[in-house]
Structure 1
Amino acid sequence: MSESKRVFFAIEIPTKIQRQIVRWRADNFPDDAGRPVAAANMHITLAFLGEISAEKQAALAAMAGRIRQPGFTLHLDDAGQWLRSRVVWLGTRQPPRGLLQLANLLRAQAARSGCYQSPQPFRPHLTLLRNTAHAVPIPAPGFHWEIPVSEFVLYESNFINGRTRYTPLQRWTLSE
């Protein structure tokens, strides 16, 4: 029997932009707003796969490797809060077509392979804060990060010593 892993496909946020977002978050949200997501864990989930076997992971990785689409630019220029899931997020007002196509392809492949896919529509976002106990004031528009996306990543999610860590397992380059 093979070992299963908790995995997801995502867009990685460059380290420089992670640091800028952490500084912006510190300047714009009170300390009691919620639990800040570690900079190294910042990403945009494309498709959550859940606990899957090594065999299923290999099959999904092979399918991901066949994706041919150009890179795109992602603009993080929106923010909000989902009270039910208790998170504050950064997102994009106008998701690029390439992002939506990539997420839809990966989510469809995952669903065909028997991986659970949320019935919720894809809402590209980066989680800033978790476990928000109350409504948090969201900064006024005017913030903006531009991220050129030329690859996507398969991450493993591990809970170790009371902390969640995301480890890149495999990367795929988008065409030029």
Structure 2
Amino acid sequence: MPESKRLFFALTLPDEIQQQIIHWRAASFPSDAGRPVAAANLHLTLAFLGDVSAQKQRALIALAERIHQPEFTLTLDDAGQWLRSRVIWLGTRQPPRGLLQLANMLRSQAARSGCWQSPQPFHPHITLLRDASHAVAIPPPGFRWSVPVTEFVLYESQFVRGRTRYTPLCHLPLRP
């Protein structure tokens, strides 16, 4: 049986913004609000692919390399909590057209390639805390990060020694 990897396409955050978000999270949420996501794991998933064979991975990368999508700026200015999935998230009030187009193209390509796709609509977000077992107060508006998006990344997700590790496999530049 061919070996498969658990893959997803995502946007990464610059290190400086990751650190600013980590400090904001620590100041904005009580320590018992949930399990914090490590700074290095902060990302915005564009398309979850699930378990993918090496052959299908190569095909997905080839399709992704053909995407023509101009660079855009992502504004992180919204936050919320999903009680059912026990997640506290950071997101955008007005997703830029480029973000929605990129996610739709990647999700469509993945579905056509036979990768599992969530029936849920795309809700661009960055998971800040997991296992948030009770409702918490969400900080009032006023926080804001502008993230220049010049590429997207294919990641492998691995669970090793009780920790989730995301390894970038391929960086794909945006271009008009």
Q: Structure 1 length as normaliser, TM-score?
A: 0.99
Distance between the aligned counterparts of 1:132 and 1:173, measured in 2?
35
For structure 1, the 5+ residue unaligned runs are none
Alpha-carbon distance between aligned partners in 1 of 2:27 and 2:21, rounded to the nearest angstrom: 10
Pair 1:26 & 2:30 matched: no
Partner of 2:36: 36
The Cα shift of 1:2 comes to 2.6
Aligned position for 1:100: 100
Aligned residue pairs, count: 176
In structure 2, distance between residues paired with 1:85 and 1:140: 22
Alignment-derived partner of residue 154 in structure 1: 154
The answer to whether the aligner puts 1:74 opposite 2:74 as a matched pair is yes
Name the amino acid aligned to 1:103: A
Q: Could you tell me which residue of structure 2 aligns to residue 12 of structure 1?
A: 12
RMSD: 0.7
Matched residues, percent identical?
72
* TM-score (normalised: structure 2): 0.99
* Aligned counterparts of 1:141 and 1:69: Cα–Cα separation in 2: 30
Quick one: distance in 2 between partners of 1:140 and 1:132? 19
Measure the CA separation in 1 of the matches of 2:12 and 2:50.
18
Q: Which runs of 5+ in 2 are unaligned?
A: none
